[in-house]
Amino acid sequence: MGKETNELAKSVVSAVLSELRRYKKKDPNKAFMLLDLAGNMVTEIRSCGPLIACELLKNDGVEYMKLYSPSTVNFEIREVKNN
């Protein structure tokens, strides 16, 4: 079971990065960011054994790492708006 959960984490990370690349390829003139459900920007995502490790940046500038279960993780891809 350990190997299966490690593979699940890797496949989720791969799928998220693939989808982000698809957005960027679809419209190369726009910038996109990956957000967790709390609205924090994901600055790095990787598999960490059976978990998904994300380095996050809060709106107030605080950086931190959070570990997610691959079966419950949710992300949002949002276009960066320049004001």
pLDDT, tens digit, 9 for 90 and up, residues 43-75? 999 999 999 999 999 989 999 999 999 988 999
The helix/strand/coil state of 66 is strand
Q: Which two tokens stand for residue 61?
A: 């500038």
* Band of pLDDT at residue 4, cut at 50, 70 and 90: confident
Q: How far apart are CA 80 and CA 46, in angstroms?
A: 22
Taking the model in full, what pTM does it have? 0.86
Q: What share of the chain in percent tops pLDDT 90?
A: 84
How high does pLDDT run on average in the chain?
92
Q: What share of the chain in percent tops pLDDT 70?
A: 98
